[in-house]
Structure 1
């Protein structure tokens, strides 16, 4: 008989809105073994797992960290607690998957990234959209040069949403778009500065509408509109290139991506007449539209598979701690811009890895 394949022992921390989704997908992931669901409200956690589940339900996070059967934890607690819970897990020798944002501040996020390096553990962000087939297709289009030279990125994420008590709309919704940008941009292209304008028309005490502009290192600008107050829900991104433009409508299940062979081309000044008016300066290209088939699969399953594989293969995941730190850097710059009247604010540089530590192997339980 072949030896048993190693599996990652996982504890999900938090049984609120997102924790049950993590637990369900962990149980469907062959390379994972769900050991615990941990929540201060034990009754709520028990109701999530049901009466016949063999998964242990506990209220003590310390008990979870003390159990050697737990190799990793997935954190779905309130954003303000992410730093404390993730740091405790790393210090206990556990790998960590954490919801966005990585931490309440760039400084705390940097401490988590450095701790993961120091202890040789995987630190991964649950940037779920980055694991959708649509974003994977966009990444390939851009990085393979199918769109030509990148010209602009424009994203709208608005709905009549729940006004959060601990964060504004920028920190609630924009991490999705910023993590997507980071995932699909060509290698070497990074954010340089950010400007943000927002308002609070319902007097919630925090921005409910924000317009965010990101300047990239290749001269391109990316724009994000997030809004809690819209009566209609829109999830749409437009990415323009010199050769093609792609529109991603996440709420259109039958045609999520539309690739247009349409655009604007400027003529060389040398081709113009003496007075610059003898020829048309701008020409418009009108070609076909192609809608590739995109399968509608739950991205969280791919998140869990990537987390397990990165641990077992001793490699960094697609959305590693530094990707989460880059998003934090943009959010902090945007918040500073909001407070300062909308001026562009430089984005902090994410530090390079501090060590080349090899991640430890996961041993098969006896």
Structure 2
């Protein structure tokens, strides 16, 4: 029997979710809902939804009347708490776009509610399902980099510029999630500084001085590993690059490199008298399986419903941890770079 789903929010990312669930043999998209009529019209034209008998509505409140198994939520982050809570209380399984909410206490409440309702709550942390991230985690765990020393990441582009969250909340969760996944641990402290240029008058709980367009983040781990992340949505130089450096080599995930998204750059320094000489320098392109990360997310969500087993790498609990980390980074940003300890 197919899993009956409704998709709430069919903007840029919701459209991708719709495409994947329409193509999945174990899913039946029953309805889409979006208050933006243009989004609904575009989806109808692109996918022929009415011909498929799919309900198209601007009011999600009618959805409980049509019999659903799960709800896919791809709406602005500020709406997540209310919508996810209502969906869980109605007995639906939920796949939510990241971040789970903008408040760690709300995330914890929703995760516990899902547990009480015996329903699956999964967060769409798409990068954790990327073949390069999966293979990279295996390489790090195998010890091929030697002693892990530090990491860095850059996530920059020229728009889109959001008005509900700043560049930190829009972009950082991806790289934080990858670092945590590869290291098998969460940061114990964070530090951040940033700049507001475009929207000083757009203020939120996390951004009382305006939405930061550029942010530098420092993640501090208990293992002594540290990572620096550069985030900016006002930079014509589009980059999606993350690196973990060890004593024997560096692992580089460069999403903009279509030919070699994951490379292992081997090399180490050998002491010779008073000098250090580079040795063993070899660049290895890592072969990856062919798979669309979002397709993997959709497949895993349907599997969690079918098996009633939560997704270990993208559950509500992991989503809560990441929101807690982001909240602490925001505090450091507001306090102009003060180091903030994270209490999980």
What TM-score does the superposition give when structure 2 sets the normalisation length?
A: 0.91
Listed one character per residue, the Cα deviations across residues 233-265 of structure 1 (whole Å, up to 9, x for unaligned) are: 011111112232111110010111111111335
Give the distance between the partners of 2:108 and 2:12, measured in 1 at CA: 27
Go from structure 1 to structure 2 and tell me whether the alpha carbon gap of 1:311 and 1:281 turns closer, same or farther (over 3 Å shift).
farther
Does the residue aligned with 1:18 lie in a helix, a strand or coil? helix
Find out whether 1:333 has 2:332 as its counterpart.
Answer: no
Shift of 1:17: 1.5
> Alignment partner for residue 241 of structure 2, among 233, 236, 245?
236
> Alignment partner for residue 20 of structure 2, among 6, 19, 25?
25
Give the distance between the partners of 1:327 and 1:24, measured in 2 at CA: 27
Contact 1:46–1:57 under 8 Å retained in 2: no
Shift of 1:41: 3.6
Go from structure 1 to structure 2 and tell me whether the alpha carbon gap of 1:41 and 1:260 turns closer, same or farther (over 3 Å shift).
closer
Does the residue aligned with 2:298 lie in a helix, a strand or coil? helix
Q: Which runs of 5+ in 1 are unaligned?
A: 1-5, 268-277, 350-366
Q: Which residue of 2 aligns with 1:38?
A: 33
Give the distance between the partners of 2:38 and 2:56, measured in 1 at CA: 9
Q: How does 1:116-265 map to 2 (within 5 A)?
A: 116-186=114-184, 189-202=185-198, 204=200, 205-264=210-269
> Alignment partner for residue 320 of structure 1, among 315, 318, 333?
315
Find out whether 1:308 has 2:306 as its counterpart.
Answer: no
Go from structure 1 to structure 2 and tell me whether the alpha carbon gap of 1:17 and 1:203 turns closer, same or farther (over 3 Å shift).
closer
Does the residue aligned with 1:297 lie in a helix, a strand or coil? coil
Contact 1:169–1:208 under 8 Å retained in 2: yes
Q: Which residue of 1 aligns with 2:338?
A: 343
Give the distance between the partners of 2:268 and 2:69, measured in 1 at CA: 51
Structure 1 stretch displaced more, 35-44 or 209-218:
35-44
Q: Which runs of 5+ in 2 are unaligned?
A: 201-209
The total of aligned residue pairs comes to 330
Does the residue aligned with 2:162 lie in a helix, a strand or coil? coil
Shift of 1:46: 4.5
Shift of 1:328: 0.4
Q: How does 1:53-92 map to 2 (within 5 A)?
A: 53-68=52-67, 70-92=68-90
Contact 1:13–1:39 under 8 Å retained in 2: yes
Find out whether 1:284 has 2:278 as its counterpart.
Answer: yes
Go from structure 1 to structure 2 and tell me whether the alpha carbon gap of 1:343 and 1:264 turns closer, same or farther (over 3 Å shift).
farther
Give the distance between the partners of 1:348 and 1:84, measured in 2 at CA: 25
Listed one character per residue, the Cα deviations across residues 82-117 of structure 1 (whole Å, up to 9, x for unaligned) are: 111011101111111111111021111111111111
Listed one character per residue, the Cα deviations across residues 284-329 of structure 1 (whole Å, up to 9, x for unaligned) are: 3232111022355321111100100111111111311111111101
Contact 1:182–1:323 under 8 Å retained in 2: no
Shift of 1:42: 4.9
Structure 1 stretch displaced more, 13-22 or 301-310:
13-22
Give the distance between the partners of 2:268 and 2:85, measured in 1 at CA: 49
Give the distance between the partners of 2:26 and 2:175, measured in 1 at CA: 29
Shift of 1:153: 1.6
Structure 1 stretch displaced more, 174-183 or 219-228:
174-183
Shift of 1:192: 0.1
Shift of 1:281: 6.3
What TM-score does the superposition give when structure 1 sets the normalisation length?
A: 0.85
Contact 1:245–1:263 under 8 Å retained in 2: no
CA RMSD of aligned residues (A): 1.8
Find out whether 1:298 has 2:292 as its counterpart.
Answer: yes
